């Protein structure tokens, strides 16, 4: 009897467990998806083959080094040559600041090869040329500083940057014509663009000088 009772209990447990397992495996639930989670549009995304195609820019942005004179020099140098001392462009302009031979001659530099190999000389040439342009444009800086021409506020640093690009004489014509006589170099950079791009730097550290030499 004990064996028979044990066999019956064991068989009953097997039946219960089998029934419970079948129930849990076969039971289905119907779940409603909220409307705000339903996708009705094709959201397939395509990764670009070339990242440049997505983030293409006209020119590289230079590192910001502040609004003091050093920041002005380096920003202008980056625009001219990306700050490289040994660059000679297709038009023959030289060095970090892309000087023309005639401008260098005015400041007393006549050996072009030595000029390209001497970073200190190039820095002195830039400072000397700024002092020279300050003298030539001194009345125009005083007259037009703070005024708005061509949608941009005129500043001393913008005027001097434009003079580096196009010469002090052309900048005078631009200012006195209130932007009508705008000129650009062979690569499309204009006086108005330089006045706007290099606006607001403090260049007071360089004094104006008449006919300075290195």
pLDDT one-digit tens code per residue, 123-133: 999 999 999 99
Would you state the pLDDT for residue 65? 79
Residue 43 domain-assigned (yes or no): no
Residue 132 domain-assigned (yes or no): yes
Say how many domains are in the chain.
1
Rounded CA-CA distance 146/162 in Å is 16
Residue 70 domain-assigned (yes or no): yes
Would you state the pLDDT for residue 23? 42
This prediction has a pTM of: 0.71
> In this predicted model, what pLDDT tens digit does every residue of 166-192 receive, in sequence order?
999 999 999 999 999 999 999 999 999
Would you state the pLDDT for residue 47? 33
**Widest Cα–Cα separation across the chain:** 129
Domain span at residue 176 reads 64-197
Percentage of residues in the chain with pLDDT exceeding 70?
Answer: 71
Residue 102 domain-assigned (yes or no): yes
Angle at Cα 103 formed by Cα 98 and Cα 108, nearest 5°?
Answer: 115
Residue 207 has pLDDT above 80, yes or no: yes
Residue 82 domain-assigned (yes or no): yes
Residue 165 domain-assigned (yes or no): yes
More confident residue, 28 or 205: 205
Residue 93 domain-assigned (yes or no): yes
> In this predicted model, what pLDDT tens digit does every residue of 38-64 receive, in sequence order?
544 443 333 333 333 333 334 555 667
Would you state the pLDDT for residue 153? 97
Would you state the pLDDT for residue 51? 31
Residue 38 domain-assigned (yes or no): no
pLDDT band at 141 (very low <50, low <70, confident <90, very high): very high
Across 77-104, average pLDDT: 96
Q: Calculate the alpha carbon distances from 31 to 28, 34, 35, 182 in Å.
A: 10, 10, 13, 71
Phi, psi of 2 (to 5 degrees): -60, -45
Q: Are 177 and 194 in contact (CB under 8 A)?
A: no
């Amino acid at each position: 009897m004990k064996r028979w009772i044990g066999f019956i209990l064991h068989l009953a447990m097997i039946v219960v467990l089998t029934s419970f397992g079948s129930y849990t495996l076969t039971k289905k639930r119907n779940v409603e998806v909220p409307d705000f989670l339903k996708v009705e549009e094709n959201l397939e995304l395509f990764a670009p083959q070339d990242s440049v195609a997505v983030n293409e820019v006209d020119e590289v942005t230079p590192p910001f080094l502040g609004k003091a004179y050093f920041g002005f020099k380096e920003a202008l140098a980056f625009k001219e040559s990306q700050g490289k001392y040994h660059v000679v462009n297709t038009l023959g302009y030289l060095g970090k600041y892309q000087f023309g031979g005639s401008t260098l001659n005015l400041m007393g530099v006549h050996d072009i090869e030595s000029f390209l190999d001497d970073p200190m000389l190039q820095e002195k040439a830039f400072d000397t040329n700024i002092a020279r342009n300050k003298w030539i444009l001194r009345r125009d800086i005083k007259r037009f500083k703070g005024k708005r021409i061509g949608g941009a506020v005129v500043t001393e640093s913008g005027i001097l940057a434009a003079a580096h690009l196009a010469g002090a004489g052309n900048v005078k014509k631009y200012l006195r014509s209130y932007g009508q006589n705008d000129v650009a170099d062979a690569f499309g950079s204009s006086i108005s663009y330089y006045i706007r791009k290099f606006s607001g730097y403090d260049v007071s550290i360089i004094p104006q000088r008449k006919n300075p030499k290195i």
